[in-house]
Amino acid sequence: MSTAARVETITESSLEEAAALIRAGQLVAFPTETVYGLGADATNDQAVARIFEAKARPQFNPLIVHVRDLKQANCHTVFDETATRLSAKFWPGALTFVLPRRTGSNVSKLVSAGLDTVAVRSPAHPAACRLLELAKCPVAAPSANRSGYLSPTTADHVVEDLGEAITLVLDGGPCSIGVESTIIDLSTKPPSLLRLGGIPSEEIEAELGPLQLAGSETILAPGMLANHYAPATPIRLNAQHCQADEALLAFGPNPVVGAKVTENLSPKGNLVEAAGNLFTMLHTLDVEGCTTIATMSVPEYGLGLAINDRLRRAASGRR
């Protein structure tokens, strides 16, 4: 049974409680200077899957990871000279960098929807800063609204839209900027602007020279990014049997038998668990040297819709 979220004003004790909930794998809505974020421990696959469930997103779009500072960002992404220079100028603040994922980073693969890049931002809002300090983990946080609805700039907006899906909303009053952060992709040469936002692009261009704004389809549907993750091994959907040279991505208590190697998204048939495991298991099966990765069908509701969407894209191959 869902109940309405509890709203707490910002105090050291509400921040401590929020940090404890995040560390325990729960979702907490919190203010940033841009919009309210729906935060979860970015290193916890299940917690990240809950974000997609709460937002009712039919697709796994990559999420922004919030960090305390450059040092924490650097544990999970590779900062080159340009990223270091821009972060010195604009962090903490409304600028997000897409950077190569650092080898060994424990950020959930679901956060970046399987891509080998991670988007990082160090927010300036004092409550967000303190929450990140207390939580100690990097915090994945998209805007705290249901997919397709407006981004929330007050705690009331969050409660109206997502109240039943979250435990705690930290109320820090209205957001000072009110639009999402600007996103710049520094993993490509030359860099490109992925989203216009809180930091005017002119200010970034003053540092980097003229920038290309990536195609509008990238902004509207980042799940369709041209370089979306697809395994090198061909995917076969809706497997009902398996051959000895195939890998199996199973779901539920009765996996198909006969595969060379099997990973089960959720033996219990739980879609949140399955979503959390999806990208890690696809990666694992991809390196087994099998002819095909056969995938069992997943129910077409809740997070099953997003899982199936991603599997169909993976089956359609690299673009």
Q: Give the residues lining the site for Mg ion (CB under 5 A).
A: 143
Give the binding range for ligand TXA (CB under 6 A) out of 28-36, 67-75, 261-269, 285-293: 28-36
In the window 169-188, what residues touch ligand TXA (CB under 6 A)? 180-181, 183, 185
In the window 52-81, what residues touch ligand TXA (CB under 6 A)? 61-64
Nearer to ligand TXA, 106 or 254 (CB): 106
Nearer to Mg ion, 195 or 310 (CB): 195
Nearer to Mg ion, 87 or 143 (CB): 143
Q: Which does 72 bind (CB under 5 to 8 A by kind): Mg ion, ligand TXA, none?
A: none
Single residue of 37, 93, 138, 276 touching ligand TXA by CB under 6 A: 37
Q: What's the min distance (Å) between Cβ of 28 and ligand TXA?
A: 12
* CB-based contacts of 174-180 (< 8 A; 24+ apart in sequence): 175/31, 175/32, 175/33, 175/34, 175/35, 175/36, 175/125, 176/33, 176/125, 177/33, 177/34, 177/35, 177/94, 178/34, 178/35, 178/153, 179/34, 179/35, 179/151, 180/34, 180/35, 180/94, 180/143, 180/151
Structure-block tokens of residue 303: 């997070």
According to DSSP, residue 104 is labeled: T
Q: What's the min distance (Å) between Cβ of 143 and ligand TXA?
A: 5
The rounded distance, in Å, linking the Cα atoms of 79 and 76 is: 9
CB under 8 Å to 132, separation ≥6 — which residues?
A: 66, 67, 68, 72, 123, 138, 139
Single residue of 83, 141, 265, 307 touching ligand TXA by CB under 6 A: 141
Nearer to Mg ion, 108 or 143 (CB): 143
Q: What's the min distance (Å) between Cβ of 151 and Mg ion?
A: 5
Q: What is the 3-state secondary structure (H, E, C) of 152-201?
A: CCCHHHHHHHHCCCCCEEEECCCCCCCCCCEEEECCCCCCEEEECCCCCH
Q: What's the min distance (Å) between Cβ of 111 and ligand TXA?
A: 8
Chain residues in the site for ligand TXA (CB under 6 A): 32, 34-35, 37, 61-64, 96, 98, 112, 115, 117-119, 121, 123, 141-143, 180-181, 183, 185, 194-195, 222
